[in-house]
Structure 1
Amino acid sequence: MIDIFLTTLPFFAVIACGYGAARAGFCPPEAVAWLTWFVFYFALAAMLFRFTASLPMAEVIQPRFMVAYFFACLPVYLIVNLAALLRKRPFGEAAVEAQCSVIGNTGFLGLPLLVTLIGPDAAPPIIMMLLIDLVVFGSLIVIIITGARGDGDQAAALRAVGLGLVKNPMIMAILAGLVWSLLGIPLVRPVDSFLNLLGAAATPVALFAIGASLAARSAERLSVALWLSGAKLVLHPLAAAAVALWLFDLPLFMAGMMIAAAAMPTAGNIYIIAQHYGVAPQRVSATILVSHVLAVVTLSLVLAELTGRGMLVP
C-alpha cells in the first residue's frame, strides 16, 4: 500500500500544484481554460491517436469488454438515479447525479496515470472505456435532460448529440487512429516522434489543469457530494469487480483495468453539461472537488489491492 501511495503521490502533487497556483492567483481562470483546451485538443488527442494507430484493431475494439464495462456502470447509474428520484429530485437532476457516479476522470487522469504506472498495455482498455463514457453515457445525459425539460424538439436534441460527438477531439482521435490501424499504415519515425512529444505533455499539463480547475469548485451541498463521491469511488469499483470477474469472467488484467478506471474520481466534463443546461451545477462542482480529494486515498487503496492480486500485470 505504501509503495503504491508513493507511486501515485507525485500525480496528485501536480494536481495540488495546479490548485495552489490557481488559489494564489498565478493561474487565472482564463489560463486554466487555455491549458485545458491545449490538453483536450492537442496533447491528449495526440496520445490517443498514437496508441490507437499503433495497435491492431482487435486490441482496441473488444465488444465483450465494452459490453462488460457498460453493465459495470448500469447498476450504479440506476441506483443513484433512483436515490435522487426518491429525494423528489427532477428527472434531469437525477440523471446528472447518476452521471457523476459512473463517469470518471479517465481521460485527463486515468489514461496518463495508468499508462505511466503499467505501460502502453494499459491504453487499449482505457480507450474502450472512454468510448463507452463519451458515446453512450455522454449522449444519454443530453437526451434525458432535453427530454425531461419537455422542449419537444427531439430531432434538435439528437442533432446536438451528434454534433457534440463529432466535435469531441478524443472521439475523433480514437476513430482516426482506428482507421489508420485498419489501413495498416505505419507511423514513420518523424510522425511517431511528433505524436510522442506532443502526447507527453498531456500528463503534467492535464494534472495541473485538473488542480487549477478544482480551485474554482465549491463544497456546497456536502452531504450529496459525499454520497455521489462514495458511489463513484466505492460502488462503481465494486460493481466493476463483480461484473468483470463473476458475470463476464474477464482475464485478470482486463478486469483489473476496468476496476482501476472505475475508481477514478468524477469527470470534470459533467460540470460543463450541468452548467450549460442549468441542471444542478453546484452539486456537480462539489462532487468533482470532494471525489478528487478522497481519491488520493481511495484510488491508492484500489490500485494497491489490484497490484497485490496481480491484476495490473499485462
Structure 2
Amino acid sequence: MLAMLHVLTHDILPVFAMMALGFILGRGNLVSVPDAKTLNRVAFLLQPALLFPLTNLLDWHDFQFDAIGLYAICQIIIFSITFFICRIVLGREKLEAWLLSMAMIFVNTLLYMWPISYLIYGEAAALPITAIVAWDATITFAFFIITTDLMANSKANVYQSMRRIALNPVLISIFLGIVTNLMGVVALEPILTGLDFAGAAAAPLTLFALGVILSSHPLTPNASVIMLTGIKLLAFPALVFAALSLGERPAQWNTLVVLCAAGPSGAMAFTLAMLHGVRTDTIAPVIIWTSTLSLISLAWLA
C-alpha cells in the first residue's frame, strides 16, 4: 500500500497535475479556451521535436515484437467493437464514432505514460513502454491522422488530400526518424539537444491546454461516457492481459504493456476532433474520467 501511494504521489500525480492545473484555471476563467486552443496548436507543432529523436535513436533489437503484435491485435478488436457500438447502438456520426473508438485504444503514451514510466522504472526498465510509445507514435497516430483527415475532407480531390498529408509536420518527423534510423544515420548532437529542449515543452503544454479546454465541458458522466470509460479502463487492459498469456517473454514486458494499456485515453483524439470540427461532448468527458480514474489503476499496476 505504501509503495502504491509513493508511486501515485511521486510519479503519477506530478504529471497529471498539469492537466488538473489547466482545468482549475479554466474553471476559474483565468485562462480562456481560445488561449488553450492556441497553446494546444503550439504543443502539437512541438511534437516533432519528441517524435524525431524517438524514432531516430530507437534501438529495435531488444523489442519483444510478439508482445507489440498482440497489443496491436487487441487495439484492432477493441476499436472494431467500439466503432460498431458508437455507430449502430449510439447512432453517432461516422467521424465522431471513429475518434471515440480511437480514444479507446490510443493511450496517452507519449505525453503521459512515457514520462510516468521513466520516473518509476528508469530508462532501461521502461523499454516495453518505449516500444509501445514507438508503435503508437509512428503507426497508430499516423494512421489516425491520415484517415481522419481523409474522412473529414472527403470532398477534396486526391492531390489536395495527399499534399495536406505530405506537409503535416508530425508525419514528416515520423517519416524522417524512421528513414534515418533504418539507414543508421544518427542526428548530430546539437540537433538532438535543440530538439530535446523544445520537445520537453510539448507534454506539459498539451496537458495544460487539454485541462483548460476540458474545463468548459460538464463533468457528470452519462450512460455513453460510463460505457466508453469502462471499455478503456477495464476491457482494453483485460484483453491485453489475456492476450499476453500467449507465448513466452520476460515477465516485465507483460507487466508494463498491461500498464500501458491501462493508461487514460490519449489527448490526440480530442485534438483531432477540435481540428476537424467534430463534436466533443462525449470525447471530452471520456478523457476526463479515464485520466482521473486511471490514477488509481496505474498506481496499483505499477
Structure 2 length-normalised TM: 0.80
State the partner residue of 2:15. 11
Q: Structure 2 vs 1, CA of residues 203 and 280 (structure 1 numbering), >3 Å: closer, same or farther?
A: closer
Q: In structure 1, list runs of 5 or more residues that go unmatched.
A: 305-314
Aligned: 1:131 with 2:134: no
Q: What letter matches 2:36 in structure 1?
A: V
Shift of 1:110: 2.5
Q: Structure 2 vs 1, CA of residues 301 and 171 (structure 1 numbering), >3 Å: closer, same or farther?
A: farther
State the partner residue of 1:311. none
Secondary structure of the 2:226 match is: helix
Shift of 1:53: 1.8
State the partner residue of 2:30. 26
Q: What letter matches 1:236 in structure 2?
A: F
Q: Structure 2 vs 1, CA of residues 20 and 82 (structure 1 numbering), >3 Å: closer, same or farther?
A: same
State the partner residue of 2:259. 260
Secondary structure of the 2:282 match is: helix
Partners in 1 of 2:276 and 2:183 — Cα distance?
40
1:35 aligned residue (29, 35, 39): 39
Partners in 1 of 2:115 and 2:107 — Cα distance?
14
Equivalent residue runs for 1:116-127 within 5 Å = 116-120=119-123, 121=127, 122-127=129-134
Q: What letter matches 1:76 in structure 2?
A: I
Across the aligned residues of Structure 1 and Structure 2, the Cα RMSD in angstroms comes to 3.2
Q: What letter matches 2:213 in structure 1?
A: S
Q: Structure 2 vs 1, CA of residues 49 and 207 (structure 1 numbering), >3 Å: closer, same or farther?
A: same
Partners in 2 of 1:250 and 1:165 — Cα distance?
37
Which shows bigger deviation, 276-285 or 189-198? Answer: 276-285
Shift of 1:156: 4.6
Partners in 2 of 1:253 and 1:169 — Cα distance?
34
Q: Structure 2 vs 1, CA of residues 295 and 159 (structure 1 numbering), >3 Å: closer, same or farther?
A: farther
Q: Structure 2 vs 1, CA of residues 51 and 97 (structure 1 numbering), >3 Å: closer, same or farther?
A: closer
Contact 1:68 1:248 survives alignment (8 Å): no
Q: What letter matches 2:91 in structure 1?
A: R
Partners in 1 of 2:294 and 2:212 — Cα distance?
17
Q: What letter matches 1:166 in structure 2?
A: A
State the partner residue of 1:223. 223
Q: What letter matches 2:75 in structure 1?
A: C
Identity %: 22
Partners in 2 of 1:64 and 1:159 — Cα distance?
38
2:69 aligned residue (63, 67, 70): 67
Partners in 2 of 1:85 and 1:217 — Cα distance?
23
Equivalent residue runs for 1:1-314 within 5 Å = 1-6=4-9, 7-42=11-46, 44-56=47-59, 58=61, 64-84=66-86, 87=89, 89-90=91-92, 92=94, 94-120=97-123, 121=127, 122-139=129-146, 156=157, 160=161, 162=162, 165-219=165-219, 222-243=222-243, 245-274=244-273, 280-302=279-301, 304=302
Contact 1:220 1:282 survives alignment (8 Å): no
Partners in 1 of 2:147 and 2:100 — Cα distance?
13
Contact 2:100 2:269 survives alignment (8 Å): no
Partners in 2 of 1:279 and 1:196 — Cα distance?
32
Q: In structure 2, list runs of 5 or more residues that go unmatched.
A: none
Partners in 2 of 1:230 and 1:158 — Cα distance?
41
Q: Structure 2 vs 1, CA of residues 102 and 186 (structure 1 numbering), >3 Å: closer, same or farther?
A: closer
Which shows bigger deviation, 200-209 or 4-13? Answer: 200-209
Q: Which has the bigger relative contact order, CA under 8 A and spacing at least 6?
A: 2
Partners in 2 of 1:45 and 1:146 — Cα distance?
23
Contact 1:40 1:169 survives alignment (8 Å): no
Contact 2:111 2:203 survives alignment (8 Å): yes
Q: Structure 2 vs 1, CA of residues 141 and 235 (structure 1 numbering), >3 Å: closer, same or farther?
A: farther
Shift of 1:138: 4.7
